[in-house]
Amino acid sequence: MTVFKRLLSFALIAFTLPAAANENYAIGTGSQSGTYYPLGGMLAKVWSEHIDGVNARAEVTAASVENVIKVATNKQLAGIAMGNVALKAHKGEDPFPRQMPASVLFALYPNVVQILVPAKSDIQSVQDLVGKRVSLGAPGSGTRVSALAILAILGINEDDVRAQSLNYTATTNALANGQIDAGVIVGSLGVGAITELALSRDIRILSFSPAELKKISSAAPAYMAYDAAAETYNKVPAFTAPAVWNVLVVNPKLDDELAYQMTKTAYENMDKIRQAIGVAQYITPANAHQLQGVPMHPGAQRYLDEIAQAQ
């Protein structure tokens, strides 16, 4: 049984377990080569420093799906997840076995669907992936959920490619070593794994056509078109790709006052977080509701209402 299947099995058993009275809290992130981990670490740091009784730490995970499951089963205080994954959890859609209780604390930043190929590859479009060796992301990751969903919308099934299930670091290593023809990473612009790869190898990131982007947004409204400038990564040309907002999720039963303090503390210390994490520029009250369809936690909404009234 895979780790992901064990997590799903655990979710079925522990779904209604109450939260333990424990002041040592885990914040679900992703791999250490992505953006989730350092951002989760900074959030954990400011919460530990400014909220009495909270001792939080970032936890390395398989990312979005695992984080939602652990939040829903009270194994994490909070977790970072792609918006489309949080929406699937709220609706109880695949890959989740049933509806998972999760509320949004606030939106974070957009994740861009980045399909990497060697600069001299004959792969010029998404359709050219058919028959190729393609990393679609680690099991239980938002990258995998997004990659499979977007390819399916464009008429490409998993069986149409020679699929591999690799995390960020394994994907870029495999591409550098010629073990795969393309790799999908759904992450922030400037994500560490791609930045490092572009410094040692000449790569491109595939652009989606206007027709493909329209088809994707029509089928999955959580996605929007995102234009990435040339030199976002070393010598990588400009590209346009789908993007989806990341959100910070908590259990809906999380104490309202703690959720309020977590939201307040994060926003009031955002300048410090932005100094360490560039994409934190997107974490603003104005962007808090970027994801529609998943409820905002009442404690977070109380803080947002307070600052709106004060303006």
Same domain assignment for residues 66 and 92: yes
Q: Is the peptide bond before 95 cis (omega within 30 degrees of 0)?
A: yes
On the question of pLDDT at 170 being above 90, the answer is yes
Residue 202 and residue 116 in one domain: yes
pTM for this model (two decimals): 0.83
For 131, other C-beta atoms within 10 Å of its C-beta total: 10
Q: Which two tokens stand for residue 119?
A: 């600069």
**CATH of residue 151:** 3.40.190.10
Give tens-digit pLDDT for 113-148. Answer: 999 999 999 999 999 999 999 999 999 888 999 999
Q: Point out the domain boundary residue: 199, 228, 244.
A: 244
212 and 171 inside one domain: yes
pLDDT value of position 142: 87
One domain for residues 116 and 234: yes
Are 91 and 123 found together in one domain?
A: no
pLDDT tens figures, 36-71: 999 999 999 999 999 999 999 999 999 999 999 999
My answer on whether 55 and 146 are in the same domain is no
Is residue 96 domain-shared with residue 117, that is, in the same domain?
A: no
What mean pLDDT is predicted for residues 248-257?
98
Residues 224 and 273 in one domain: no
Q: If pLDDT is split at 50, 70 and 90, which confidence band does 92 have?
A: very high
Q: Answer with the one of 214, 244, 274 that is the final residue of a domain.
A: 244
Check whether residue 119 and residue 206 sit in a common domain.
yes
Do the beta carbons of residue 226 and residue 241 sit within 8 Å?
A: yes
pLDDT band at 8; cut points 50, 70, 90: low
Q: Which of 224, 244, 264 is where one domain is finished?
A: 244
Own/partner pairs, 285-291, CB within 8 angstroms, 24+ separation: 285/106, 287/106, 287/107, 287/245, 288/106, 288/107, 289/107, 290/83, 290/107, 290/245, 290/247, 291/83, 291/86, 291/87, 291/104, 291/107, 291/222, 291/245, 291/247
In the chain, the number of structural domains is: 2
Whether residues 209 and 115 share a domain: the answer is yes
Write the burial class of residue 211 (CB in 10 Å: 0-12 exposed, 13-18 middle, 19+ buried). exposed
| pLDDT confidence of residue 33 | 85
Q: Which domain holds residue 70?
A: 3-108+246-310
Mark whether 69 and 146 lie in a shared domain: no
Based on the domain organization, do 123 and 154 belong to the same domain? yes
